[in-house]
A and B are shown apart, each in its own frame.
Chain A
Amino acid sequence: NAGVTQTPKFRILKIGQSMTLQCTQDMNHNYMYWYRQDPGMGLKLIYYSVGAGITDKGEVPNGYNVSRSTTEDFPLRLELAAPSQTSVYFCASSSRLAGAFEQYFGPGTRLTVT
Chain B
Amino acid sequence: AQKVTQAQTEISVVEKEDVTLDCVYETRDTTYYLFWYKQPPSGELVFLIRRNSFDEQNEISGRYSWNFQKSTSSFNFTITASQVVDSAVYFCALSVAGTASKLTFGTGTRLQVTL
List A residues at the B interface (Cβ < 8 Å). 31, 33, 35, 40-45, 48, 50, 56, 58, 88, 90, 92, 94, 96, 101-105, 107-108
Judged by DSSP, the binding face of B is loop
CB interface residues, B 34-71, toward A, < 8 Å: 35, 37, 43-45, 47, 50
Q: In the complex, which residues of chain A have a beta carbon less than 8 angstroms from the beta carbon of B106? A: 42
Contact between A48 and B102, CB atoms less than 8 A apart: yes
Q: A43-B105, A92-B45 are in contact. List 10 more A-B contacts (CB 8 A).
A: A31-B101, A33-B103, A40-B9, A42-B105, A43-B45, A48-B102, A90-B45, A103-B103, A104-B47, A105-B44
Q: Residues of B within 8 Å of A, CB-based: how many?
A: 22
Query: Is B107 an interface position by the 8 A CB rule?
Result: yes
Name the A residues within 8 Å of B45 (CB-CB): 43, 90, 92, 105
CB-CB nearest in chain B for A50: B100
Those 9 A-B pairs whose CB atoms lie nearest each other, nearest first? A42-B105, A105-B45, A43-B105, A42-B107, A101-B101, A102-B47, A94-B101, A50-B100, A102-B50
Residue picked from A43, A45, A92, A108, most chain B C-beta under 10 Å: A43
Residues of B within 8 A of A88 (CB): 43
Given contacts A31-B101, A48-B102, A103-B101, contact A43 B91 (CB under 8 A): yes
Specify which chain A residues have a CB less than 8 angstroms from the CB of B105 in the assembled complex: 42-44
Q: Which residues 1-27 of B sit at the A interface, judged by CB distance below 8 A?
A: 4, 6, 9
**Which chain A positions have C-beta within 8 A of B102?**
33, 45, 48, 58
Least CB distance, B48 to chain A, in whole angstroms: 9
- On chain A, the residues within 8 Å of B87 by CB distance are none
